[in-house]
Amino acid sequence: MRNWILLLFAAFIFASCSAIPEYTGDSMIIKAGEEGMIKLPADTKAGYDWIIGSISNPGIAEMTEKQNTEPEKTTSDNTQVIKIKGLKKGKTIFTFNLIKKNDVLVKKSRTLNVTVY
C-alpha cells in the first residue's frame, strides 16, 4: 500500500512539473527548451486569426503551436491558445495581430515580452 501511495505521489509531482505554464499578462519568462502559453480572445468563426506581426529577436523564442478553443458561453468569442518555446537565453518581443483572412486591416494588436533564461 505504501508503494502505491509513493507511486501516485511521484506521478502527481511529474504531471504538475510537466504542465505548460499559462501567462495572462504582457510578459512571459521561460527556460530555454521549454514552452509557455497565452490565450488570446479571437473570433475565428467570423474569420479572424491571431498572426505574428513581428518578432524583435527571432533566435530567442518561436511560436510552436496555435489552436482554437470553443467558447465557454454561447455569447463569448472563442480563444486561440498560442505556445511559445524558448530557444536560447535573451529577450524578444512578439507582436500579434488579429486580422481577418484576405483583409489588410488589423482589428487588434498585442505585444508579448518574452525572456528566456
pLDDT in tens, 46-68: 889 999 999 999 999 999 998 88
Q: Is 32 exposed, middle or buried (0-12, 13-18, 19+ CB in 10 A)?
A: middle
Categorise residue 95: left if φ over 0, alpha if ψ from -120 to 50, beta otherwise: beta
Q: What is the pLDDT of residues 73-88, one digit of tens each?
A: 555 568 899 999 999 9
d(CA 81, CA 75): 19
Residue 21, all three cell numbers: 505554464
Between 103 and 70, the more confident residue is: 103
Q: What is the pTM of this model?
A: 0.76
pLDDT at site 15: 47
Of 51, 31, 52, 50, the C-alpha closest to 114 is 31
